[in-house]
Amino acid sequence: MTYSVKITGDTNPGRIRLNNEDRFGILETKNREMVFFVADGMGGHLAGEVASSHMAETIQHAFSDKKSLEDTWGSEKKSSPDFFSNDYLQHVVEKGNTKIFHHAMDDMDKRGMGTTLTLSIIRDNQLKIAQVGDSRAYLIRKKSIRLLTKDHSLVQNEVDLGLITPEEALWDPRKNIITKAVGIIAKVEPDFYDYTLEPKDRILLCSDGLYDLVPENELLHLSQKKSLEECVHFLIDKANAHGGKDNVTVVMAEINYSNGIEKQNKSQKGFWFFKKLKKEEKA
């Protein structure tokens, strides 16, 4: 059985912040795996958008650029890496972490910058996620929603220890304090998750600017619109309607059976955003 995957995404600075520290991307590997991610940067003096941009560029190059692929995995004489593996995703995260960390060490204004990362790859009907920080992945299946990742956050640690309930965590003023990020220290270990998908499943990746303001019942309702583009549009609008206190980024994927002719479909907004950012940085 063959499968096709459609993916689209968008990002918005929200109603309060002037700059957008979120980044996302969507790309197809040479082996026809679909890669998509959300990165939410943090740090003063515009450092957050630098950190998330470094991570985004690292991912883009690692999965689509031959030279960068060789730099990430080793000599071209070695066998090609398995993109759909914990080892390769770990290498990609480490490469982004090193780039961010060294930049921060060389620039006092960027000290302490970092980024969350929810990096997903789909091969056939298998989903793998590498997770650092508190951006999230959800599964929408048959009128239900399920959180696929666990936040690296202070309140999540307290939930795990039984100190507070999940309901209390929703309103805890410390809920945005994260315990792990890419680029903060010299080494980072992502968590890995593996799932088997079914036809018509949808995967929602988002930054905390969405789920902090939009409860799960509304996430579910808006993620069931007919088209993925509508889902992304309405989810971002809903976050802004609830105050838009943070940048908000949404990436939505859907898997279906393929007739063997249908091509993979992906929005180019992610790459457009990278190009736009590079032009702005040079200005």
Task: Count the neighbouring beta carbons within 10 Å of the beta carbon of residue 77.
Answer: 6
Nearest to 49 by CA among 118, 126, 120, 113: 113
Please name each of the domains of the chain with its CATH number: 3-282 (3.60.40.10)
272-281's contacts with Cβ under 8 Å and 24+ in sequence apart are 273/11, 273/23, 273/24, 274/23, 274/25, 274/53, 274/56, 274/57, 274/60, 277/23, 277/49, 277/53, 281/53
In degrees, rounded to 5, the angle at the alpha carbon of residue 271 between the alpha carbons of residues 262 and 220 is 65
List the pLDDT tens digit at each of the 283 positions of the chain.
799 999 999 999 999 998 999 999 999 998 899 999 999 999 866 789 999 999 999 999 999 865 555 555 555 545 678 999 999 999 999 999 999 999 988 888 888 899 999 999 999 999 999 999 999 999 999 999 999 999 999 999 999 999 999 889 988 999 889 999 999 999 999 999 999 999 999 999 999 999 999 999 999 999 999 999 999 999 999 999 999 999 999 999 999 998 754 445 555 444 444 444 444 444 3
Distance CA 140, CA 196 (A): 13
Q: Quick check: 145 and 220 in contact, CB under 8 A?
A: yes
Placement of tokens 């018509």 in the chain? 200
Between CA 213 and CA 246 the distance in angstroms is 9
Nearest to 190 by CA among 122, 133, 251: 133
Maximum Cα–Cα distance across the chain? 54
Q: What does the block give as tokens for 191?
A: 């968590």
Give which of 158, 150, 112, 121 is closest to 133, Cα–Cα.
150
